[in-house]
C-alpha cells in the first residue's frame, strides 16, 4: 500500500489566520494529501484534530508539521507524540528544521531540538516569575481581581431581584461557590 503524506497545522488563536494560511501553504507544497487543522492554544488539554490525525495515520505514512511548536507543548508531549507515530510505523517530518525521523540523524535532531525548546520555555517562565516577584516587591503588581469579586454588586442585585443561584451562575458566568461566597460576605 502506498504511503500517504499527512499534514497538521495549528495556531493558538482564531485571529492568527495568516499563520494558519502560511502553514497550510507550506504543508500543501510539501505534498500533503490530507491536512488536519485547528486553532487551539497549546495549553488546552484537548486538540481534537491532532487526535484525529494520529488516529488516521497508518504504517508507512509520513506525518508533516511546519514547526515543532505547532505539534508539541513540551519535551514530554513531543516524546509521547513521537512514540505514538513510531509505534504505528509513521515517519515525522518538521519542515522548518529539515528533520525526518526516518533517519538516525533525524531522530537525534528531534530529541535535541525538543530538549532545547523545553529549556527555552522554562527559562522564559523563570524570567516571567522573577519579573512578577520584582513588580510585587515594588508594589506595581496587584494581579488580576477575582472575577466573582468584580461582579459582586451584580450578584447581589440579581439575588435581590429573586434570581436563583443557578440563574446567577449562568447569567454572570461564574461558579456556584463564587456566588455563595459573595452572598455570605453581605
Give yes or no for residue 140 having a pLDDT over 70: yes
- Domain boundary residue, one of 100, 118, 136: 118
More confident residue, 18 or 81: 81
Please give the Cα distance from 103 to 109 (Å, whole number). Answer: 10
Bigger pLDDT: 153 or 148? 153
Grid cell listed for 156: 447581589
Q: How many domains does the chain have?
A: 2
Q: What is the dihedral of CA 80, 116, 27, 17, to 10 degrees?
A: 100
- Is it the case that residue 145 has pLDDT exceeding 80? no
C-alpha cell at 184: 455570605
What pLDDT, on the 0 to 100 scale, is given for residue 174? 85
Full domain range(s) for residue 51: 5-118
Percent of the chain with pLDDT over 90: 35
pLDDT digits (tens, 9 = 90+) for 43-73: 667 899 999 999 999 999 999 999 988 888 7
Residues designated as active site: 12
- Tell me which of 67, 99, 118 is where a domain ends: 118
Task: Provide the pLDDT for residue 125.
Answer: 87
What CATH number has the domain bearing residue 99?
3.40.50.1390
Residues 106 and 156 in one domain: no
Question: Is the residue at 141 inside a domain?
Answer: no
Identify whether residues 154 and 100 lie together within a single domain.
no
Q: Does some domain include residue 69?
A: yes
pLDDT band at 36 (very low <50, low <70, confident <90, very high): very high
For residue range 74-110, list pLDDT tens digits in order: 777 887 898 899 899 999 999 998 899 988 998 888 8
Ranges assigned E (strand) in 23-103: 34-39, 62-65, 91-94, 99-100
* Residue 127 lies inside a defined structural domain of this protein: no
pTM for this one? Answer: 0.60
- Which run of H or E residues covers position 9? strand 5-11
In the prediction, which pLDDT does 37 show? 94
Same domain, 110 and 50: yes
Kindly report the average pLDDT of the chain as a whole number: 86
DSSP state of 33: S
Classify residue 136: in a domain, yes or no: no
Residue 107 belongs to a domain: yes
At residue 6, the pLDDT reads 97
137 lies in a domain? Answer: no
Same domain, 91 and 158: no
Amino acid at each position: 500500500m502506498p504511503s500517504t503524506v499527512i499534514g497538521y497545522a495549528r495556531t493558538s488563536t482564531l485571529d492568527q489566520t495568516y499563520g494558519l494560511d502560511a502553514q497550510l501553504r507550506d504543508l500543501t507544497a510539501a505534498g500533503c494529501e490530507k491536512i488536519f487543522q485547528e486553532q487551539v492554544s497549546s495549553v488546552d488539554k484537548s486538540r481534537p484534530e491532532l487526535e484525529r490525525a494520529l488516529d488516521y495515520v497508518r504504517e508507512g505514512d509520513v506525518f508533516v508539521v511546519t514547526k515543532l511548536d505547532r505539534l508539541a507543548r513540551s519535551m514530554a508531549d513531543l516524546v509521547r507524540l513521537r512514540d505514538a507515530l513510531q509505534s504505528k510505523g509513521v515517519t515525522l517530518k518538521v519542515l522548518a528544521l529539515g528533520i525526518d525521523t526516518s533517519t538516525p540523524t533525524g531522530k537525534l535532531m528531534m530529541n535535541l531540538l525538543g530538549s532545547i525548546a523545553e529549556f527555552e520555555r522554562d527559562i522564559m517562565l523563570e524570567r516571567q516569575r522573577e519579573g512578577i516577584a520584582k513588580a510585587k516587591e515594588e508594589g506595581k503588581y496587584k494581579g488580576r481581581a477575582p472575577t466573582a469579586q468584580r461582579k459582586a454588586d451584580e450578584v447581589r442585585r440579581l439575588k435581590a431581584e429573586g434570581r436563583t443561584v443557578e440563574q446567577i451562575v449562568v447569567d454572570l458566568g461564574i461558579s456556584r461557590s463564587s456566588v455563595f461566597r459573595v452572598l455570605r460576605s453581605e
